[in-house]
Structure 1
Amino acid sequence: MGKLGDMMNKAKQMAKGHPDQADKGVSGAERMVDDRTGNKYDAKTDKAADTVRRSYREGGGTPER
């Protein structure tokens, strides 16, 4: 696995170990996109944020490649 894959795995492990902090980061990113796009894609950012949160909470998410 390359450096990007290693970094991604480390980020996933950190998020699983600190879900409250990860939630703050996801919420901040979602807010930033909504602000910059004038909420044009609000439904899509909500769906994406929920998917990301599920990936590190309760063992959910997509399988490792």
Structure 2
Amino acid sequence: MAGLDDVTKKAQDFLNDNKVKDALKSDKAEEVSDNILNAVAGAADKITGGKFHEKIEDAREAADKKIGSDE
């Protein structure tokens, strides 16, 4: 179990590093997250035949606000 604790601590240290925080809030990270969200929303829209387009778009926008750097 000590090995898992060590890995967890290293992961926490990594995520708390200012360089990592800056990278996660970068324009490139925003672009990547937008591309992923758009692809998932597009796939969901296609699968449902557009029947839930507004709800899917609302969910995509809500997710983007939570994980993106744009306000």
TM class, shorter-length: 0.5 to 0.7
Q: Using CA pairs under 8 Å that are at least 6 residues apart, name the structure with larger relative contact order, 1 or 2.
A: 2
Among 26, 31, 37, which residue is 1:26 paired with? 37
Structure 1 outlier segments of 4+, above 6 Å: none
State which drifts further: 49-58 or 27-36.
49-58
Partner Cα distance (1:40, 1:59) in 2: 28
Among 25, 34, 42, which residue is 2:53 paired with? 42
Query: Taking structure 1 as reference, are residues 16 and 52 closer, same or farther at Cα in structure 2, changes over 3 Å only?
Result: farther
Corresponding pairs, count: 50
TM-score, normalising length: structure 2: 0.57
2:35 is paired with a residue whose SS is helix
Query: Taking structure 1 as reference, are residues 25 and 59 closer, same or farther at Cα in structure 2, changes over 3 Å only?
Result: closer
Partner Cα distance (2:55, 2:24) in 1: 22
Partner Cα distance (1:59, 1:46) in 2: 17
Alpha-carbon distance, 1:38 to partner: 0.2
Q: Identity of paired residues, percent?
A: 16
Larger radius of gyration: 2
TM-score, normalising length: structure 1: 0.61
